[in-house]
């Protein structure tokens, strides 16, 4: 029973070919592509307005050097949001429940922000490792602690996204299994459990959107420290 609960997180394959690449690429097909016409349809207009509003809020605390990341941040936000939302549909696979994928996104982007800081302002980047006014005796300890916290950042990004989505999917499957088991025995309790399942699904929709936003927001904060 416990093994079957975790089967939903196994990467699907067909004829020995892993389908995770297909699950990552196909969500892009549901978004309309902007046309060259002067007047666009309502869907493209709403999509462009939402993206512009998100990018303007995200780039607000950054200087002009950080605005070069606007396209990357917006694309990453749309990518994570789409995959997280589609993963809530029945009989679908959520690639962002895989720690390898999340770390594959978090580590290179975090490393890019660190490299930019070391190249553009090495003194300020290294200054984050030692807060101003630190007592002399605490300097070696604080440098070690700040260095460890710096290298934990990409791990925290990947684990946070994986853990939140995995926990939500497991809760949904556990409660839905309880509904099916209780339905022929205690219909009233099953109806109450189904209500809880509906509310939990709404919560997971919110979690899917919030976690995508938090992932991109933390990356923008890391970028803000280094530009």
The region that residue 16 occupies, defined by phi over 0 for left and psi between -120 and 50 for alpha, beta otherwise, is left
154 located within any domain: yes
Q: How many domains does the chain have?
A: 1
186 part of a folded domain: yes
Is the residue at 33 inside a domain?
Answer: yes
How many whole angstroms separate alpha carbon 29 and alpha carbon 222? 31
* Residue range of the domain that includes 100: 12-226
6 in a domain, yes or no?
no
- Distance separating alpha carbons of residues 164 and 147, to the nearest angstrom: 26
> In which residue are the tokens 């389908």 written?
19
Q: Residue 1 falls within a domain, yes or no?
A: no
Q: Is the pLDDT of residue 3 over 60?
A: no
On whether the CB atoms of residues 211 and 164 are closer than 8 A, the answer is yes
158 part of a folded domain:
yes
> 3-class SS at 61?
coil
| 15-58 confidence digits (pLDDT tens) | 777 777 777 877 777 777 766 777 677 777 888 888 888 888 88
**pTM as predicted:** 0.84
pLDDT digits (tens, 9 = 90+) for 141-194: 888 888 898 899 999 999 999 999 998 888 998 898 889 888 888 889 889 999
User: What is the predicted pLDDT for the residue at 25?
Assistant: 79
Examine residue 3 and state whether it is found in any structural domain, yes or no.
no
> Both tokens of residue 142?
């604080």
**Phi, psi angle pair for 128, to nearest 5°:** -65, -20
């Amino acid at each position: 029973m416990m093994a079957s609960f975790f089967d939903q997180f196994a990467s699907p394959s067909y004829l020995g070919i892993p389908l995770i690449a297909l699950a990552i690429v196909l969500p892009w097909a549901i978004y309309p592509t902007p046309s060259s016409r002067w007047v666009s349809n309502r869907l493209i207009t709403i999509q462009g307005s939402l993206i512009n509003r998100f990018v303007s809020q995200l780039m607000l605390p950054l200087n002009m050097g950080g605005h070069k990341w606007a396209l990357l941040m917006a694309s990453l936000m749309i990518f994570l949001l789409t995959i997280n939302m589609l993963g809530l549909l029945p009989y679908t696979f959520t690639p962002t429940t895989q720690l390898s994928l999340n770390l594959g996104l978090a580590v290179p982007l975090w490393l890019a922000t660190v490299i930019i800081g070391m190249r553009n302002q090495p003194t300020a980047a290294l200054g984050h490792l030692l807060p101003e006014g630190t007592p002399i005796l605490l300097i070696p300890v604080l440098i070690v602690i700040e260095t460890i916290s710096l290298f934990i950042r990409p791990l925290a990004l990947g684990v946070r996204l994986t853990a939140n989505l995995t926990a939500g999917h497991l809760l949904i499957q556990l409660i839905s299994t309880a509904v099916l088991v209780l339905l022929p025995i205690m219909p009233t309790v099953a109806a109450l459990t189904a209500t809880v399942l509906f509310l939990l699904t709404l919560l997971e929709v919110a979690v899917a959107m919030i976690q995508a936003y938090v992932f991109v927001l933390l990356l923008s904060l890391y970028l803000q420290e280094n530009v």
